[in-house]
Amino acid sequence: MKKTIATLASVLFLNFSLLYGQEEKGNDHKEINSLQRTFVFDFTTKLWTYSEESKYRKRKVYFLIPYKSQPAIRVIHLPSIDYKVKIETAFFDVTPKTEAVKNDTTFKLFEKNKEDNIVYTETMNVVDSDEVNYTVTISDENDKIVHITQVYAKVYGGLKIDLSTGVLFHNLFDESYGYVAGANSQSSISKDKNNGVVKPLFPVVLTHFYWRAKGIISPGFSLGLGIDDSGKAGYYLGPAVLLGDRQRAVISLGLALRPTNTLKGRYAEGQLLDDSSKPDVSDLVESVYKAGLFFGITYNLTAKIEKRQ
């Protein structure tokens, strides 16, 4: 039991090291004190920039934005003050239920900045989802659409709860015993050789509490319940690592608590019993809760949603 607790403590320490070390190693992002972030679209170059914080690039530009921040959309170098700008906002939650959470359409007036450039600025709603997509439509004075552009932002930070299912292994084994015939009409209690065989537990459902990370590795904790083929329920708690973006594989390791068949206290391995009064082998054991370790590989249950634009 002491070894089990020591091992779990080591695993917890490793998980926290991952949680606090991941943000620093290889992090090119500059944190901003203000909760407001600004997305800037240059009408002349048709390019997006994200002020004061760097961006990641894939096939198309997307940005990282903190949870509970309040972004602003700014369009600069517009050719005329009579041009109209419409911004549509789509928030997305990666959950088993739905992907689209909220859609807003907003309008604002134009203004001139100190450099005499015609600009449009709109402060958006507070971001409280996993992802956000802004569609900006620019029309001329005749209401003819001259340009449509999108900017996508992935949200980091904020605690999130998800479910996953998969396979789990643990080191808690049911003990079984039999009899070995002896002299003088007696038999001794003998432990079966098949004890300690690792059997996978499938399916198991785990709940994950994790912190949205900037990359594809998110640290968190797993809490779960698993029922084996004999109907016994086990409980599992420990650190986890979620790998992936929208669809995630989860690796969990921690403490397992399960009812386990063990030899009753009034019996001992090697004990001699009279053949005439010895109990059935099934009566030699009783089910008691024991603590051990578990290792799980599960898949995050999320909605099947389309690829990002």
Q: Tokens 């109209």 sit at which residue? A: 84
pTM above threshold 0.75: no
CA 178/CA 285 separation, integer angstroms: 11
Q: Token pair of 158, please?
A: 């904020």
Q: Which helix (H) or strand (E) holds 47?
A: strand 47-50
Among 112, 93, 89, 109, residue whose Cα is nearest residue 101 = 93
Give CA 63 to chain center in angstroms: 20
Which stretches of the chain score pLDDT less than 50? Answer: 2, 4-5, 7-9, 11-34, 52-59, 97-103, 105-107, 112-114, 305-309
Q: What count of other Cβ atoms lies within 10 Å of the Cβ of residue 145?
A: 11
Phi/psi-derived region of residue 267, left when phi > 0, alpha when psi is between -120 and 50, beta in every other case: beta
Helix (H) and strand (E) counts in the chain: 1, 20
Contact, 12 vs 239, CB < 8 A? yes
Whether the CA torsion 220, 32, 28, 71 is positive or negative: it is positive
pLDDT of 96 reads 52
Q: Token pair of 1, please?
A: 């039991």
pLDDT of 44 reads 93
pLDDT of 108 reads 52
pLDDT of 35 reads 58
